[in-house]
Amino acid sequence: MSNTNRLRIAIQKSGRLSKDCQDLLKQIGVKLNLREQRLIAHSTNMPIDVLRVRDDDIPGLVMDGVCDLGIVGENVLVESQAERQNQQQNADVITLSKLDFGFCRLALAWPQELGEQSKDWFEGKRIATTYPEILKQYLKRENISASAVMLTGSVEVAPRAGLADAICDLVSTGATLEANGLMQGETILESNACLIQNPALQDPEKLALIEKLMPRLKGVKQAKE
Ligand code: ATP
Ligand code: ZN
């Protein structure tokens, strides 16, 4: 459990979600003293601490109650929930809001020179991915027996390197796939960033602060529409 009476929010330290997270906090009125190397940034105008970590750590920090809130891509959230369920660990969160950034999709892709392929082509193939649990759920749903090869980075070079026949990776514009001679296939998950809460949170002051911030967050979202 969180050991302070300040609301703890986990965000990505550096990466595609960091700037949008910092902007969002600012827009809802949370003033932060952000020094580049610090793990924790204290708000100067509210009882809030912001923990800056790798995005992969965010779901677990919120599920375990180390942080009260977190902002993370649904791709990372869904993968981590499946992983934790496999290990019989608590995987519950409350999704307070989907946010209007971090849009991407998890899609299948294979070498362009093979041309268009149907789902049957994946039968018996090796598919490189950073999201093996989401991929396995998809393969099961579609009744395809293929294997997931877990890679934490450079997934798009796996077919060329002979590590896999195809990939299942995050795509936003498709430029990376094209640059690596890959053809994009079916989308298996549409994702964007979301705000999650630890469901066991009971501290009335923290809950009241969240209730105060949520309408501001809705206001910021509506103003952008
Ligand atoms: P970290 O060092 O925090 O682990 P990372 O390299 O895993 O960072 P980023 O590449 O910064 O992660 O992406 C963070 C999140 O941004 C992704 O999990 C996803 O939700 C979202 N995202 C949006 N567009 C893309 C994209 N084109 N490629 C990858 N992720 C994207
Ligand atoms: Zn990551």
Residues 33-49, mean pLDDT to the nearest whole number? 89
Here the CATH number for the domain that contains residue 14 is 3.40.190.10
Same domain for 15 and 113? no
For the stretch 175-189, pLDDT in tens is 999 999 999 999 999
Same domain for 91 and 157? no
Domain of 181 in residue numbering reads as 104-189
Q: Is 54 in the pocket of ligand 1 (CB under 6 A)?
A: yes
pLDDT for residue 3 = 52
Provide ipTM, 2 decimals.
0.96
Of ligand 1's listed atoms, the one at least distance from the Cα of 75 is 20
pTM here is 0.95
Residues 79-90, mean pLDDT to the nearest whole number? 97
Q: Which ligand is nearest to the CA of 19?
A: 1
Domain-located, residue 2: no
pLDDT for residue 4 = 73
pLDDT for residue 33 = 83
Same domain for 46 and 95? yes
Domain-located, residue 199: yes
Domain-located, residue 1: no
Give the phi and the psi of residue 62 in degrees, each rounded to 5. Answer: -75, -40
Question: What is the domain count for the chain?
Answer: 2
Which one-letter amino acid corresponds to residue 118?
S
Same domain for 26 and 111? no
50 Cα: distance to centroid of ligand 1 (angstroms): 19
CA distance 52 to 137: 30
Residues 155-166, mean pLDDT to the nearest whole number? 97
Same domain for 64 and 24? yes
The mean pLDDT of the chain is: 95
Residues 208-220, mean pLDDT to the nearest whole number? 97
Same domain for 34 and 76? yes
pLDDT for residue 224 = 82
